[in-house]
Amino acid sequence: MVRRKPIRTRGKIQFSKYFQKFKEGDNVTVIKEPSVSSSFPLRIQGRTGIVEGKRGRAYVIELMDHDMEKRFIIEPIHLKKISNGKTAKK
């Protein structure tokens, strides 16, 4: 887990990350943005999950917390979309 940001980017947020859009079924990973306060537990840092829906400006993410399936409400600045490894063929 990254504890500090580089000196030139401290306190700054990327608007493209803040306003990114996800669809239901997208695979995302949880990466905490240190310059924005978060309300999710630190133990889910780095875990991957699936977007279930949207609640306000945040997303409902379903992920495994050890051996239990849980749902967390996380703002998009703390999420990063990952590909599922499939390529579209025509």
74 in any annotated domain: yes
75 in any annotated domain: yes
88 in any annotated domain: no
How are the residues of the chain apportioned to helix, strand and coil, as percentages rounded to the nearest 5? 15, 35, 50
7 in any annotated domain: no
> CA-CA distance, 66 to 46, in Å (whole number)?
13
**What is the tens place of the pLDDT at every residue in 56-67?**
999 999 999 889
38 in any annotated domain: yes
Global pTM?
0.82
Burial 26-64 (b: 16+ CB within 10 A, else e): bebbbebbeeeeeeeeeebeeeebebeeeeeebbbbebe
Domain span at residue 62?
12-79
86 in any annotated domain: no
**What is the tens place of the pLDDT at every residue in 19-78?**
999 999 999 999 988 888 888 888 899 999 999 999 999 999 999 988 999 999 999 999
**Domains held by the chain: number:** 1
**What's the CATH number where 54 sits?**
2.30.30.70
**40 in Cβ contact with 49 (< 8 Å):** no
